[in-house]
């Protein structure tokens, strides 16, 4: 039987408080940094169109000396293949979960 591996971000909405805490601890960068990345991308994409690379995400990671390899692997695993996908596939779900808690 095939095992369909769900993206972490898809199970986020079903997590309870303890699970969310473990999720946050397992992230490749601090929660505030990742939220900073989402804000940065949304701001950039208001005036720029996505060229389907992660150029703005890279810029943010460099400016904030984040673990580039780990963070971009995490983003891709969750469907964030480029700047606009990071916003539409990850940031929106993320905010629904964390903004209400
Ligand atoms: Zn894009």
Taking the centre of ligand 1 as the mean of its atom positions, its distance from the CA of residue 82, in whole angstroms, is 5
Res 65: pLDDT: 96
| Whether the model pTM is above 0.85 | yes
Contact criterion met (CB below 8 Å) for 74 and 28? yes
Q: What is the end-to-end Cα distance of the chain in Å, rounded?
A: 36
Res 100: pLDDT: 64
Give a yes or no: residue 69 inside a domain.
yes
From the list 87, 75, 91, the residue with the least C-alpha distance to 27 is 75
Q: For the residues 41-49, what does the mean pLDDT come to?
A: 98
Taking the centre of ligand 1 as the mean of its atom positions, its distance from the CA of residue 48, in whole angstroms, is 11
How many independent structural domains does the chain possess? 1
Give a yes or no: residue 71 inside a domain.
yes
Taking the centre of ligand 1 as the mean of its atom positions, its distance from the CA of residue 55, in whole angstroms, is 10
Taking the centre of ligand 1 as the mean of its atom positions, its distance from the CA of residue 73, in whole angstroms, is 16
Give a yes or no: residue 12 inside a domain.
no
Give a yes or no: residue 21 inside a domain.
no
Instruction: Provide the domain limits for residue 35.
Output: 30-99
Taking the centre of ligand 1 as the mean of its atom positions, its distance from the CA of residue 87, in whole angstroms, is 9
Give a yes or no: residue 22 inside a domain.
no
Taking the centre of ligand 1 as the mean of its atom positions, its distance from the CA of residue 1, in whole angstroms, is 34
Comparison of pLDDT for 9 and 39, the residue scoring more: 39
Give a yes or no: residue 2 inside a domain.
no
Res 71: pLDDT: 97
Res 10: pLDDT: 87
Give a yes or no: residue 43 inside a domain.
yes
* DSSP-derived secondary structure for the chain: ----PPPHHHHGGG--HHHHHHHHHHSSS-HHHHHHHHHHHHHHHHHS---SS-HHHHHHHHHTT--HHHHHHHHHHTT--SHHHIIIIIIHHHHHHHH--
Please enumerate in sequence order all residues whose Cβ is within 8 A of that of 20, keeping only pairs 6 or more positions apart, or say none. Answer: 12, 97, 101
- 66-93 tens-digit pLDDT: 999 999 999 999 999 999 999 999 999 9
Res 7: pLDDT: 87
Q: For the residues 33-49, what does the mean pLDDT come to?
A: 98
């Amino acid at each position: 039987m095939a095992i369909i591996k769900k993206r972490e971000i898809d199970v986020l909405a079903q997590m309870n408080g303890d699970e969310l805490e473990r999720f946050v601890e397992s992230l490749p960068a601090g929660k505030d940094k990742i939220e900073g990345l989402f804000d940065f991308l949304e701001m950039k994409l208001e005036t720029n169109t996505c060229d389907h690379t992660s150029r703005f995400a890279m810029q943010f990671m460099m400016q904030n000396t984040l673990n580039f390899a780990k963070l971009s692997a995490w983003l891709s695993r969750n469907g964030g293949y480029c700047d606009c996908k990071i916003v539409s596939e990850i940031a929106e779900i993320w905010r629904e979960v964390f903004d209400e808690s």
